[in-house]
Amino acid sequence: MPIAPVPPHLLALRADIGRRVRAARERARLTQPQLGERMGVDWKSISRLENGLVSPRVDRLLEIALVLGVPPASLMPGGPRLPPEGTAAGARDPQ
């Protein structure tokens, strides 16, 4: 039985998750191989995830969030965006 193509709206969600994972990884100043090593997976798996080629399992996203020190929701579409690099989460602007 042939595999059905992935609907465009799911491809868009995959791409959003991938962008969020990449941003969080770069914010943590880790390379794909370093993240993969910490998670016990090949760096190519991280690359496929960041490029929206695969749909990550929930437990894998939770592990990525733990390793990168970010809230799991920040890796999901519709979740909160991480603050810009160099700012602390929840930090207030000086007045």
**Secondary structure (DSSP) of 32-79:** HHHHHHHHTS-HHHHHHHHTTSSPPPHHHHHHHHHHHT--GGGGSTTS
Res 89: pLDDT: 46
Q: What is the pTM of this model?
A: 0.81
Domain ranges of the chain: 8-75
Is pLDDT above 70 for 91?
no
Mean pLDDT of 59-74: 96
Q: What number is the average pLDDT over the span 2-11? A: 85
Q: Which residue has the higher pLDDT, 8 or 21?
A: 21
Nearest to 48 by CA among 14, 9, 4: 14
Cβ-contact 22, 50 below 8 angstroms: yes
Give me the CATH code for the 8-75 domain, please: 1.10.260.40
Q: Read off the pLDDT of residues 30-63 as tens digits, 9 standing for 90 and up.
A: 999 999 999 999 999 999 999 999 999 999 999 9
Q: In whole angstroms, how far apart are CA 27 and each of 19, 20, 22?
A: 12, 10, 8
If you average pLDDT over residues 65-88, what whole number do you get?
Answer: 83
Contact 65, 71 (CB under 8 A): yes
DSSP 8-state code for residue 28: T
